[in-house]
Amino acid sequence: MRAELESLFLFDESGGESIANAVGSAAGQLLRFETPFREGSMCGPYRLVRQIGEGGMGTVFLAERADGEVEQQAAIKFIRPGYDIPALMRRFLRERQILATLNHSGIARLLDVGRLDGTPYLVMEFVEGTRIDQYAEGRGERALAALVRQVADAVAHAHRNLVIHRDLKPSNILVDADGTPKLLDFGIAKNVETSDETHTMDRLMTPDYASPEQVSGGAQTTATDIYSLGGVLYNLLTGRPPRQPLDLTEMSADMAAIIQKAMREEPAERYQTADLFVADLDAFLADRPVAARRGEVFYAVRKFVRRHRLAAGASALAIGCLAAGLYAAAREREIAQRRFEQVKEASRQFQEMEGRLRRVPGATKERGDLVVSALQNLERLGAGSLDNEMAIEISNAYLQVARVQGVPVTPNLGKLADAERSLEKADSLIADPRFEKIRASNFLAAEIAHDRMILADTVKRDQGALAFAKKVIRRAEAGIANQPLTPTENARIVRIYSNVALTFSNLHLMDEAAFYSKRAVELARGPGEDPYQLSKALGVAASAARSAGQLDSALRFIREAHELTDRNPDMNNADFVFQLVATLWREGILLGELGGINLNRPEEAAALLRRAFELAESLAARDSNDYSSRAYVSMVGRELGDVLRDTEPAKALAVYEQTGRRLAESKNNAKARREEVWTLTGASYALRKLGRRREAGERIDAAFETLRGLKMLPARAAEANGEIDAAYRAKADHLAETGRLAEAITTYKELHQLAVAAKMQPEMDLRHANGMSRLYLDMARLQKPAEAAEFRGRAVALWQHWDRKLPNNSFVRRQLAAAQK
């Protein structure tokens, strides 16, 4: 296009000025403006020394600390005077907020923010360095790979914090005196979860380094930065801008492959994460095969020989011996093939029959008989030695059986221990390191670890859940690293990452939860979009955003998920109904969960939760042995009862009792027994509202007895919002309302000690902050004035901390106001 336009300029009567000169002249006129800030002016504790940069939207000054506290230089960036266009002002303020979330040695740090004469500014670490392209001159390929590897690591940190830079280029990367590259200028960066104000603003970019989707105005994701990283690497190696088609003749085949993969036109064809780009640069530097050159057998052999020269002779001897055994193996292979076909057919029949039975009301017994038969066949077919294909097929069959037995990812029989044993068997069949080189087994290993993660999370084995989550990620990344995903594979990864995000959220690892929930949504929006999968991914993203206090984003996610289910109804499909129930539940608790992080709209919440409860009940009524539907009844019933108990106690009590009856139908299930604690304690509040105090006390006693039966009491610690917390709160509130104030205070003090012992992180986790604040205020409500002031002061201090951390957050402001009353 550039060449064509240049040729047209040749025929222009004005003299054929080049595009570069024309644009440069126009830009020069644009940038010549008078700034009201002068050398020597004060900006908070800083004195402006000299102007060191100027752009279309702002100007940058070198400044020095002048208040005598410390000696420090900084770079202060002001928005350009007169650029008070709302979109640009929001972009500048967003840059400040984005920088506040990043903490990496390769990213210039944000030191402070403020306003001077009404003009916002940001104070950053002053990087005294050289542009990376100038620093690169005369350096070899390996040195430049190591340099860009550091830049990519900083970009990966930004991506893990859900930030896309969108303007990676040599002028935005300075190398300091220690040789450390520093990433600058997040002026057009964006959060993964946000959309841009206008398409025009999307075009703030540097064309030579912009990805095809930036140029065309398409959706921009983390893959956008991967493309630009490849462009920077190409520029450093060749000294030329990375215009397509690339000339890769001046570099090694490894490096050419890395750059080609990073700069592919289709985002899905590039490295899926910046970490994988880093991994290939690490492989290049360590003289290992790079993933970008998949499929080159002799290339991998050459790399092996180079690293293990002494073993090369032995390898040649082994190859010679292999030929002698080929004839003898031929007949064994024929027998093994027949056996393999039997396993595949048995697995196919099991999945087909189980899928049919799952849709038939009351077929739980038949599903159980099918599982017993399948396990007998698998033991018979799996006896003896197994080749790779056979081991993978049998392992997958055990995985499918486990899901019917008790993994809560599909309707199941609620037999968690049996499911765990089947998953252990599935895992052991592909445990040998050789399977890590097989793409199909990496996907399968990720699925097995995923199910074991969910089981561990379900029974509150936090360390086990975390270990399995890490394994899920490692094997999933290995599976997707080397080639594009098929629609089926993409759907598997979307589901896996969504549930990994939920597990991280349950473990209070909010950054990781946000990263993988957004990653799942990105993949779900890809080619061949499946509304069902996208709806599930959006629901998980909504939960992660809500836990982080981003309630507006959470509402957008869950409303889109709700709209997708409404547009694509399939009420005869139990899986769809479960998904719809989960979506309604998520939207309901976001709007008005009692005592939770919410938008304070309880009436809207009640309407959504009522519908969800009715749907879950309709599924539970079909089959008295189906645990999954009872789990959903419990999940929704607890929240619906809580929302109703103060305004409509009789209806709330009916919901709690119906939920309790459904849970009682699940025999020998520890999770169902834990869930019963919520229905018992919740019902105690409704009963007191109805004047039935004795019955309320009996429900609380039953809750404590249930906890003792589960060996959860006596407790050493209790996190906020757990079953033990709920039981202690219900007891303390009951004692207070029945006139036994001293005992109520003692009970709350015991709960406070348990909360402290749990080592929660109220300064880091908003859910912990909310739970601890509720505890402080409940204790203050019962205490004498002096002690009450102390606990209320703790709550105020906690919310002031969060007000600084999440400025102008409606939920935080509401909690702060309540604490200050």
pLDDT tens digit string along 58-71?
A: 788 999 998 888 88
Name the residue with higher pLDDT: 311 or 339.
339
Averaged confidence pLDDT in the chain: 84
In angstroms, the Cα distances linking 416 to 402, 407, 408, 422, 774 are: 9, 7, 9, 10, 34
Angle at 374 between CA 371 and CA 380, to 5 degrees: 145
- Strand ranges, E, within 35-135: 42-43, 46-54, 58-65, 73-79, 110-116, 119-125, 130-131
The bridge status of strand 119-125 relative to strand 110-116 is: antiparallel
DSSP structural state of residue 107: B
| The predicted structure's pLDDT at residue 448 | 97
Q: In the chain, what are the helix, strand and coil shares in percent, each to the nearest 5?
A: 65, 5, 30
Closest by CA to 119, choosing from 66, 77, 65, is 77
Alpha-carbon distance of 541 to 518, in angstroms, equals: 6
Alpha-carbon distance of 444 to 400, in angstroms, equals: 11
Out of 349-363, 384-398, 452-466, 521-535, least confident range: 349-363
Domains of the chain, start order:
2-31 (no CATH), 42-125 (3.30.200.20), 131-185+193-307 (1.10.510.10), 601-709 (1.25.40), 717-821 (1.25.40)
pLDDT digits (tens, 9 = 90+) for 213-268: 888 877 788 889 999 999 999 999 999 999 878 888 888 989 999 999 999 988 88
| The predicted structure's pLDDT at residue 157 | 86
| The predicted structure's pLDDT at residue 703 | 97
Torsion sign over Cα 702, 707, 713, 718 = negative
* CA 476 centroid distance within chain: 14
pLDDT digits (tens, 9 = 90+) for 430-486: 999 999 999 999 999 999 999 999 999 988 899 999 999 999 999 999 988 877 888
Alpha-carbon distance of 501 to 421, in angstroms, equals: 25
Torsion sign over Cα 162, 166, 168, 174 = negative
| The predicted structure's pLDDT at residue 809 | 95
In angstroms, the Cα distances linking 634 to 278, 598, 642, 663, 669 are: 45, 20, 12, 7, 14
Single-letter amino acid, residue 23:
V
Which SS3 state, helix, strand or coil, does residue 393 take? helix
Given a contact cutoff of 8 angstroms between Cβ atoms, the answer to whether 728 and 717 are in contact is no
DSSP letters of 284-344?
A: HHTTPPPGGGTT-HHHHHHHHHHH-GGGHHHHHHHHHHHHHTHHHHHHHHHHHHHHHHHHH
For the chain, report the end-to-end CA distance as a whole number of angstroms: 65
Tokens of 121: 């500014």
Single-letter amino acid, residue 450:
H
Tokens of 315: 């390898």
pLDDT digits (tens, 9 = 90+) for 663-692: 999 988 888 999 999 999 999 999 999 999
Tokens of 668: 């020998």
Find all residues with CB under 8 Å of 635, minimum gap 6, and list them.
585, 616
pLDDT digits (tens, 9 = 90+) for 255-301: 999 999 999 988 888 887 888 899 899 989 988 878 887 534 334 44
pLDDT at residue 105 is higher than 50 = yes
Tokens of 725: 């917390």
Rounded-to-10 torsion of CA 387, 392, 395, 400: -150
Confidence of residue 166 (pLDDT cuts 50, 70, 90): confident
Alpha-carbon distance of 675 to 651, in angstroms, equals: 19
Closest by CA to 261, choosing from 309, 295, 311, 287, is 295
**Residue keyed to tokens 């079953």:** 723
Given a contact cutoff of 8 angstroms between Cβ atoms, the answer to whether 494 and 506 are in contact is no
DSSP structural state of residue 671: H
Task: Find residue 125's DSSP bridge partners.
Answer: 74
Which element (helix H / strand E) includes 785? helix 785-805
DSSP structural state of residue 60: E
Angle at 84 between CA 80 and CA 85, to 5 degrees: 120
Out of 161-175, 489-503, 590-604, 777-791, least confident range: 161-175
